[in-house]
Amino acid sequence: MHVAVAYDTLSRWGGQELVTYAMVKALNESGFTVDIILLFNGGIDRRISDIPARRIVSAFEYDPKLPIRGLIRNIITGIMSLGYDLTINTVYHVMLWPFDIGYLNNPGTYMPPYRLRRRVFLEFNRIALPILGPRLLLANSKWTLNQLPYRPRLSGVLYPPVMPHQCSSSGKEDIVVTVGRIAPDKRITDAIKIMETTYAYYPKASFYIIGLPYNQEYFRRVKEQAKHVEFILDASEEAKWDYLCRAKVLLHTAVNEHFGLVAAEAQYAGAVPVVHKSGGLWSDIVKYGEFGLGYLSNNEAVESIIRLLSNEELFNVYSMRVKEHSMLFTYKAFKSRLISYVKSLIQPEP
């Protein structure tokens, strides 16, 4: 069976690129022949250069900077996917084109504030979705799926995967780490405030922020606030995992994070997430405090971090608990769930 997996570009690296890579890998390992249909080429990021596709085709060589990008991208890659036995779109933010499977990782288009343009879009979506929507809509978390006012008849959740990794470090250290884009939407300034306040009460801990700057001006302002926080820029996957494996705490400060893969990776490494009480990160990964700690204020975050750093018994209890929970997010679980969804479409029950 020939499958088309449509996406934007594989020239960068992030959670959505990882999902695309993992989908192609899982389908290939399960006996499907996979072609990747891209909006534009731009080169393949080295971290996914071994993606096991039969071929990779693109509509444009470079980013065409399209207006109404999501809609036009779906139409272009949808037309290029015609003739395949199964079609999957892994960046299905605008639910208009009848792919077999659409994967939604960002529900922002469907969330408040409902200004006039967005209200018109939602009403159009409600009318057109039964005709032009995907046969099956998959979301990256239950929270993401629940943000949609309208959805196809068939829908479900497919968590992004934590790819297999073995920690080589011998034990945990008093390390607090934040991983993600150094950008305003990730609230890195809050992360620094929390880390600096924690240092004032617990100075033997080490604090790191791993990621790429949103832009140099923002990074300059952020760095000025960091007196006891070290930045690790453009870290390799190996370097990121080294910090996660040695850290006791992952601090995640974004609000309404749709999923937050790095928190699942931290759990896999035995680090305990301390996260804002919002979004899929809080509901699906941390499970409302069962597999990590949550906060609403910076002071509450500081208190949670100090509790984990200073109380070895408490940390060990949470660390064991989060490791077990992380099995929900492994590549093996992802593959099994994806193939189950695919089979439900190609081999429907009588």
DSSP characters over 229-285: EEEEES--HHHHHHHHHH-SEEEE--SS-S--HHHHHHHHTTPEEEEES-HHIIIII
Neighbours of 197 (CB within 10 A): 17
Residue 138's closest CA among 259, 39, 257?
A: 259
Query: What's the pLDDT score for residue 348?
Result: 65
Question: pLDDT value at position 142?
Answer: 96
Which pLDDT belongs to residue 349?
59
218 belongs to a structural domain: yes
Alpha helix positions (H), 30-86 = 69-80
How far apart CA 289 and CA 9 sit, in angstroms, is 36
Distance, CA of 193 to CA of 302 (rounded, Å): 9
Given a contact cutoff of 8 angstroms between Cβ atoms, the answer to whether 89 and 96 are in contact is no
If asked whether residues 156 and 29 sit together in one domain, one would say: yes
Does residue 170 sit within a domain? no
pTM of the predicted protein model: 0.92
For residue 168, is it within any domain? no
Per-residue pLDDT of the chain (350 residues; tens, 9 = 90+): 999 999 999 998 888 999 999 999 999 999 999 999 999 998 998 888 899 999 999 999 999 999 888 889 999 999 999 999 999 999 987 777 899 999 999 887 777 777 787 778 777 777 777 778 899 999 999 999 998 887 777 899 999 999 989 888 778 999 999 999 999 999 999 999 999 999 999 999 999 999 999 889 999 999 999 999 999 998 888 999 999 999 999 999 999 999 999 999 999 999 999 999 999 999 999 999 999 999 999 999 999 999 999 999 999 999 999 999 999 999 999 999 999 999 999 886 55
Paired with 103 in beta bridges are 138
Asked if 270 and 322 count as a contact pair (C-beta separation under 8 A), the reply is yes
Q: Report the DSSP pairing between strands 86-89 and 175-179.
A: unpaired
CA dihedral 321, 323, 329, 332 (to 10 degrees): -130
**Within-domain flag for 229:** yes
For residue 109, give its domain range: 2-161+331-346
Co-location of 144 and 269 in the same domain? no
Q: Tell me if 125 sits within 8 A of 114, measured CB to CB.
A: no
**Tokens 């029950």 -> residue:** 349
**Residue (of 111, 84, 110) closest to 96 by Cα position:** 110
Which of 220, 174, 180 is closest to 312 using CA atoms?
Answer: 174
Residue 337 has what pLDDT?
98
Q: Are residues 118 and 234 in the same domain?
A: no
Residue 167 lies in a domain: no
Same domain, 317 and 339: no
Task: Say yes or no: 28 and 153 in one domain.
Answer: yes
323 & 342 share domain: no
Tokens of 30: 């399960």
Alpha-carbon distance of 99 to 80, in angstroms, equals 11
Same domain flag for 293 and 222 = yes
Q: What angle do CA 139, 141, 142 make, to 5 degrees?
A: 100
**What pLDDT, on a 0 to 100 scale, did the predictor assign at position 150?**
78
Q: How far is CA 158 from CA 6, 129, 271, in A?
A: 17, 20, 23
Q: Are residues 235 and 218 in the same domain?
A: yes
CA–CA separation, 247 vs 280, rounded Å? 23
Domain shared by 129 and 217, yes or no:
no
Q: How many helices (H) and strands (E) does the chain have?
A: 12, 13
Counted domains in the chain: 2
Residue 137 lies in a domain: yes
On whether both 294 and 304 belong to a single domain, the answer is yes
Residues 199 and 155 placed together within one structural domain of the fold = no
Does 262 reside within a domain? yes
169 within some domain: no
Query: Do 116 and 11 lie in a common domain?
Result: yes
pLDDT at 40: 96
Length of the chain: 350
The DSSP element (H or E) to which 131 belongs, if any, is helix 116-132
- Give the whole-angstrom CA distance, residue 192 versus residue 207: 9
**Token pair recorded at residue 116:** 């006039």
Closest CA to 332 of 148, 121, 90, 161: 161
CATH code for position 201: 3.40.50.2000
